[in-house]
Amino acid sequence: MKDNLKKYNTKRNFKKTSEPIGKLKSKGRKLRFVIQHHLASHDHFDLRLEANGVMKSWAIPKGPSYNSKNRRLAVMVEDHPLDYRNFEGVIPKGEYGGGIVMIWDEGYYESKENIINDLKKGTLKFKLYGKRLKGMWSLIHFKEDNWLLIKEKDEYENKDFDISKYAKSVKTKRTMSEIEKSNSLCDEIIISNPNKVIFQNPKITKIEIINYYRKVSK
Ligand code: MN
């Protein structure tokens, strides 16, 4: 169990990226899932399903489709920490996965068994309770790290589904460029006269106020 996130941690320099450090956590009652739109060297969507204290993860180049005729390639990648489901922001250029990450969908999922058993069998069926993705879905293993994400036929199936129409974060309603801009405001802001006294009693300087805002903000 301890080594589940080792690969994740060794690939990243946490002094440079604001992604969370991989730590194992005990799971709650509901099993969570997230889909992160990741605009890196290749544009893709990352599906992550909670299992045994980590997020099992697949990179999906074209993203999910509500059309049951579409089989979407889903490449299994390293387990991610549970906290990763809340990550939205910018991974610095040159770092592993450098680019912009948006929370494209989030919620809970249900499956009959612990999906760890189904992973070994190579067939996963699960019901999503997301903001955008709902109903039954399956992941079918075909070779090496390659799986297929398929929408099962149910009342949620939608043959006209067009993923490009969903260009905003479900969490912050921001577009990719808005996420990118708000990140650069944080990291590249130039502070003039940091020691200027803003409040006299008690004496508080400009830099102290800025540091306070940085500390309390996400
Ligand atoms: Mn990714």
In this model, does residue 157 exceed pLDDT 70?
yes
C-alpha to C-alpha distance for 77 and 23, rounded to whole angstroms:
17
- Structure confidence at residue 218 (pLDDT): 65
CA of 29 to the centre of ligand 1 (A): 27
User: Ligand 1: distance of its center to the CA of 215 in Å?
Assistant: 27
Cα(39) to centroid(ligand 1), Å: 8
Position 184 confidence tier, pLDDT thresholds 50, 70, 90: low
3-class DSSP state of 11: coil
The predicted-structure confidence for 17-61, as pLDDT tens digits, reads as follows: 999 888 876 544 579 999 999 999 999 999 999 999 999 999 999
For 39-107, the DSSP string reads ESSSEEEEEEEEETTEEEEEEETT---S-TT-EEEEEEEEEEEGGGGG--EEEPTTSTT-EEEEEEEEE
The fraction of the chain above a pLDDT of 70, given in percent, is 92
Give the Å distance between the CA of 38 and the centre of ligand 1.
5
The reply to whether the predicted model has a pTM over 0.85 is: no
- Confidence at residue 1, expressed as pLDDT on a 0 to 100 scale: 46
Question: What is the distance in A from the centroid of ligand 1 to the CA of 83?
Answer: 15
Binning pLDDT at 50, 70 and 90, where does residue 216 land?
Answer: confident
pLDDT of residue 214: 79
Tens-digit pLDDT profile for residues 93-135: 899 999 999 999 999 999 887 888 889 999 999 999 999 999 9
Distance 200 CA to ligand 1 centre (A): 48
Distance 20 CA to ligand 1 centre (A): 14
* Per-residue model confidence (pLDDT) at position 156: 96
How confident is the model over 192-200, as a mean pLDDT?
Answer: 84
Rounded distance from Cα 208 to ligand 1 centre (Å): 36
The alpha carbon of 216 and the centre of ligand 1 are apart by a number of angstroms equal to 28
Distance 77 CA to ligand 1 centre (A): 9
- Residue 197 CB burial class (10 angstroms; 0-12, 13-18, ≥19): exposed
